[in-house]
Every structure is written in structure tokens, then in C-alpha cells.
Structure 1
Amino acid sequence: MNRKKILFVFNPFSGKGLIKNYLVDIVDIMVKAGYEVTIYPTQSSGDATDKIIKDAKGYDRIICSGGDGTLDEVITGLLKSKLDIPVGYIPAGSTNDFANSLGIPKVMTQAAKTAVTGAEFPCDMGDFNGDTFVYVAAFGIFTEVSYQTPQQLKNILGHLAYILEGAKHLSDIKSYNMQIEYDDHVIQDKFIYGMVTNSVSVGGFKGMTGDDVKLDDGVFEVTLIKTPKNPVELSEILTCLTNLRDDSDLIYSFKAKKLHIITKEKVAWTLDGEYGGEHDDLTINNLNRAVPLIVDAAEIVGITAHPTEVFEDPYENLSLEEIEKL
């Protein structure tokens, strides 16, 4: 009997190199679940994408471990290769926003068990001018911290590193004049921050992206913060963000499947917390249910638009004889 095959790709330095303490146990969990395991430690930025493109074909499951950036690289490789392979995720970064949204356990061995025994959840992804993001594309104040904060600071402070580094820029807030087209709407305004998300948690805080967030509904949650004209407006913005409210005229909040963004100058963006380049003409598309992720079905009942599919019985249409042969 041929054993199913897992390609296990991990970032050995993510989260203070935490995986080194659990690597043997994680691989043992995969083997005991009936898989033949190939392990690959990434060597540099972008290496996970290259590995998936080069070698993922022929594997039954991909499992990756690292921060959100490592997951982003794996998903990018799968989409570029047009491979339909389920992905399990063992979070080891400092913030792990997307893992939090999916209810993936924080303990690495427990996450490994979910990655080999969980249910498939076809999840939306984002296309960003031909690039890929998993859960957030953002610009403006606080975003540059995700690729300028030293890795050691990320490891020690977690999501607080983003805020502490960003706070240094409050006295010099840069504003961007933008035209944003979505569905049948057009917005023209000046903004200090914006994010296009498919996540319950951003920056380590749950609730930042609004209510009724579904990760497989074909639409993004969009948040845009207008440029404050005075300290009172700035205070109102900070109060809304602190209390996770979007009921201010200074904050646009809406859902969209596709956005076209035009700016008078090139704007730096981050994709899943990593530098995403500078753009002045940008199209963002929701790739509905593009990649199957392995999750604990009970953990995502509130964030799926298709709960009956996630809880579907995989043995429903099999005879007793067929089940016994599995």
C-alpha cells in the first residue's frame, strides 16, 4: 500500500526558532497519521515559493510552519503552479493573524495534529496586481513597521512591536490622495491608512475588520482611514481603532470583491506583513475559495459561508466494504 506524501516546509528562524524544539514530535505526528514526510527548511526570503513551484507536484498535502509570510509564500507557489493541494499550517511567527482567524492551536504539536487530521476548508485568497496575498494588503501609517522592524523585536514583542515602531511616526503622518473604484462606487479622498483583508484578526487584534467576516464568501473587508485635519480628528480615529469601532465619518468600511486603486504617487504596500512594492495603479481581486486549508471544522463554523460543506461526511456515499478498505 502506497503511503500518502507530505511536503513539510518550515522557516527555521521564525518565532525565535521555536520549531527546533518540536521538529521531531511534529514529524512523528505526521508519520503516525500514515504519511511519508519530506522536510524542507527554507533558506531565504521567497524560498518557500520556489520550493513549491519546483517540487510540490505529486504530494498529497503541503504543511508549512513559520509566520504569516511563510504561509503567504507557500500559497503563492501553489497558485502560480495552479496546483490543487490542501495546505496545513503550524504557526510559529510573532503575530499569526491568519492562524488566529482559523482557530489553529497555538501549541505547535496540537497544530500539527490539526494539519494532518482536519477538514478541508476552501478559503479565499487575494490577487494583487498579479502577486498573491493570503489575508491582508495594507498601506500607510503603521504598515511599514512589518518589514522595517528588526526580526528580533518582532520575536520579543509580538504584535506590540508593530505599534511601538509605528508610534514613532505619529508626528509625521503621510497622506495619500487616492481614487478607489469598487463594485459601482467611486471614492476620492486623502487617506493615511488602508487595508484590504480576509481575516478576523489583524495586527494581533480580533475585530479590527468588522462584523460577520467570512473567509470564503468571495469578498474582502476594506477599511480606509481619512487624513485627520486636526488633533481632534486624530483622537477620534485612535478612539475608534482602540475600541474596534468603524462608526466615524473619518473611516470608510465596506465589502468588495474587486478594487481598482489609482494614486498620484507610488504608494508602498505590505502583503501579509511583508513588503509588497510601490504602486500607483493597482487592481485587487478576491480569488474565491482558491486554496483548501486544513482546519478543525468546529473552529471555523462562524467564519465560513458554506458550513454544510465543511462538515460534510466524507464517508457518506461509500459502502461499508469501501470504508473497510480505506
Structure 2
Amino acid sequence: MTKAVLIVNPSSGGEKGKEYTEFALEILKSMYDDVVLKETAKGGDAEEFSEAAAKERVEAVIVMGGDGTVNECISGLAEEEYRPKLGIIPLGTVNDLGRALGIPLNPEAAIQMLPDAVTKKLDVGKVNDGYFINVIAIGKIPEAVKDVDIDQKTRLGSLSYLIEGAKAFNDSQSYPFELILDDDEVIEQESSLVLIVLTNSVGGFENMLPDAKIDDGYLHLVALKGKTLMDKVKLIPKVISGNVTNADQTLYRKFKSGKIAVTEEAIELVSNIDGDQGDNLPLTVKVLPSHITIFVPA
């Protein structure tokens, strides 16, 4: 008997989770003998639900929510020896992983895709004792973005991130980073923004890192070198056109494991992991190649 678990974050996407749950259940019941619905009520629920599903050895876990909920589900699966196949129904503000996978951003279309979907392997990032699926961001802009509240996201969608990010864009504050990559490269770089990325889509910019693939076995580091507003303005066309990696204003490296720290002990700097507040620096990061099997459009 085949079994799937549907994990829904009812508050994602302006509370559209409730609207699409019945349709998702209908489609999944045509695919599996038994489908169990689990709705999140607080942070950590999705991780707990997916971990339990893995221990039960169900065939598939389908998650309906934003990048934060997807992150929780993958975190719940990542430590398990048996990991069910994962399906994503995007409902969040940005849905970077859905974009990178080519999954329809319209929830109804994403649900309709599932019966004909194929599977691909997905790299997962490990950061300290947690996991990430898309991006770690460190600096003034992610500090501002983390303060976007749920009401603002519901009303304005991804524009809310843009508004808060723009407020911090003119801030010239930078930090002294030490980047240790693959044990043998040590870089000291003053920067106002450091990104560690797994996929080509960052903050809704789907071509920011065109060489970053979901299964390439690498983490991709981008650090902004420029301090002035003009340096940052010059970078905007390169972000849009996918030329960030060879821009004069950025440092780019691809690597498999590393440590990100600030060289001044007095500086306390917090990371933003997949859109939510993460650990304070220093961070130890590594890639887990092809760690999750995920449904994508045929």
C-alpha cells in the first residue's frame, strides 16, 4: 500500500494554503492509496512532520508553502537514512527553489503537474547544525529583509522584500569577513553583502547565477566588494543579466565546504537562511550532493 503525507502551511501565500488543500488531496489520492494531511501551526511543525514521515518510510512528502516551510521539510528529511521523494507546491512570497526547479508558481498548476512529474536529485546545504536549500545571506540588506512582517508580505508579496532591501541599499556599512573555502583558500574581504547560494534563483532573480545548478555538487559564494552607492548601482544590470560572477564589484567562488566569519570579535552578525533568521557568525557550511529526490515537471 502506497502512502503520501501532505504538509500544508495555511498562512503561506496570503493564507492560500486552505484554498488549495482539497484540490491537492484529490490529486494525491489518485496517485497514492493513503494520503495524510498535516497542517502547520508553528515553526518547527513541518520539520517534525517530515521527519516522522521518513521514519514511517512513506513514498512521498508533498509540501505546500513558501521557502521557509520547504526548508523545514528538507531539514526533517536530511538526517534520515531513508528519505521519501519530495514534492513542492509553491505558496510563498518568493519561492526561489520552485523557480530553480521549473515548478509552476501557480499552486493549481503545480498540483496538476504531480501525476506526470519525474524525479531529479537535489543538493542540500548544511550550515552548522541546520540545513538550507537556496541561500545564506549576510549583511545589511538581509538584516533589513528579515524584519518584513507577515502582514506586509501578505499585502505586498515579493515587493515587500524589495522595499525593505532598498532602504538598506544606500547604507555603506561593510564588515571584515574571513572566508575559508575547501580548507586551502583563505580570503579576507571587506563586504556589505555575502551570499552562499545553491541554485540560480536568488530573491526572485532567476538568472542571478546561471551556472549554479540544483545538482552540481557546489556551493556558490558571492561577496559584494564595493562600498559606495554607485558600486551597488553598477551591479544591478549584472544581477538581472546573470553576469554577477565576473563583475568587478563582486568576489565569486564555487566550493564544497567552508567557514564564514568576521575578523573582529566585537562584531555580532546574524545570517539569513532561506529567508528566515539563522545563526550568528561564524558559520560552517558544506554541500550534501544529490541528497534529496524531488519531483519536477516532466
Alignment TM-score, normalising by the size of structure 2: 0.91
Give the direction of change, closer, same or farther, for the CA distance of 1:232–1:14 in structure 2 (3 Å limit).
closer
List per-residue Cα deviations over 1:39-62 (Å, max 9, x = no partner). Answer: 011010111112223344221110
Please state if 1:112 is matched with 2:114: no
1:7, 1:56 within 8 Å by CA — same for their partners in 2?
no
Task: Quote the offset at 1:208 in angstroms.
Answer: 1.3
Give the direction of change, closer, same or farther, for the CA distance of 1:48–1:254 in structure 2 (3 Å limit).
same
d(CA) in 2 for partners of 1:234, 1:110: 37
2:260 partner amino acid? I
List per-residue Cα deviations over 1:16-48 (Å, max 9, x = no partner). Answer: 111222221111111112331100110101111
Task: Quote the offset at 1:221 in angstroms.
Answer: 1.8
Which residue of structure 2 lines up, in the alignment, with residue 223 of structure 1?
A: 222
Helix, strand or coil for the counterpart of 2:291?
A: strand
Helix, strand or coil for the counterpart of 1:109?
A: helix
Which residue of structure 1 lines up, in the alignment, with residue 19 of structure 2?
A: 21
1:119, 1:295 within 8 Å by CA — same for their partners in 2?
yes
d(CA) in 1 for partners of 2:71, 2:295: 15
1:147, 1:273 within 8 Å by CA — same for their partners in 2?
yes
Give the direction of change, closer, same or farther, for the CA distance of 1:204–1:190 in structure 2 (3 Å limit).
same
List per-residue Cα deviations over 1:86-122 (Å, max 9, x = no partner). Answer: 1000001111111011011122232123334422211
Sequence identity percentage: 29
1:250 partner amino acid? Q
Which residue of structure 1 lines up, in the alignment, with residue 47 of structure 2?
A: 49
1:296 partner amino acid? P
Provide structure 1 residue ranges, at least 5 long, that are not aligned to the other structure: 298-326
1:199-278 maps to which residues of 2 (within 5 A)?
A: 199-209=199-209, 211-228=210-227, 230-241=228-239, 243-246=241-244, 247-263=246-262, 264=264, 265-278=267-280
1:142, 1:163 within 8 Å by CA — same for their partners in 2?
no
2:216 partner amino acid? D
Give the direction of change, closer, same or farther, for the CA distance of 1:118–1:189 in structure 2 (3 Å limit).
same
Task: Quote the offset at 1:143 in angstroms.
Answer: 1.0
2:123, 2:290 within 8 Å by CA — same for their partners in 1?
yes
d(CA) in 2 for partners of 1:133, 1:90: 18
d(CA) in 2 for partners of 1:57, 1:113: 28
Which residue of structure 2 lines up, in the alignment, with residue 12 of structure 1?
A: 10
d(CA) in 2 for partners of 1:55, 1:234: 45
Task: Quote the offset at 1:161 in angstroms.
Answer: 1.3
d(CA) in 2 for partners of 1:91, 1:260: 31
Helix, strand or coil for the counterpart of 1:84?
A: coil
- Partner of residue 30 from structure 1, selected from 20, 28, 31: 28
List per-residue Cα deviations over 1:262-299 (Å, max 9, x = no partner). Answer: 212332111111111211x32110100011111124xx
1:30-179 maps to which residues of 2 (within 5 A)?
A: 30-58=28-56, 59-179=58-178
Q: What number of residue pairs does the alignment pair up?
A: 292
1:175, 1:227 within 8 Å by CA — same for their partners in 2?
no
Give the direction of change, closer, same or farther, for the CA distance of 1:224–1:292 in structure 2 (3 Å limit).
same
Helix, strand or coil for the counterpart of 1:196?
A: strand
1:63, 1:115 within 8 Å by CA — same for their partners in 2?
no
Alignment TM-score, normalising by the size of structure 1: 0.84
d(CA) in 2 for partners of 1:232, 1:294: 42
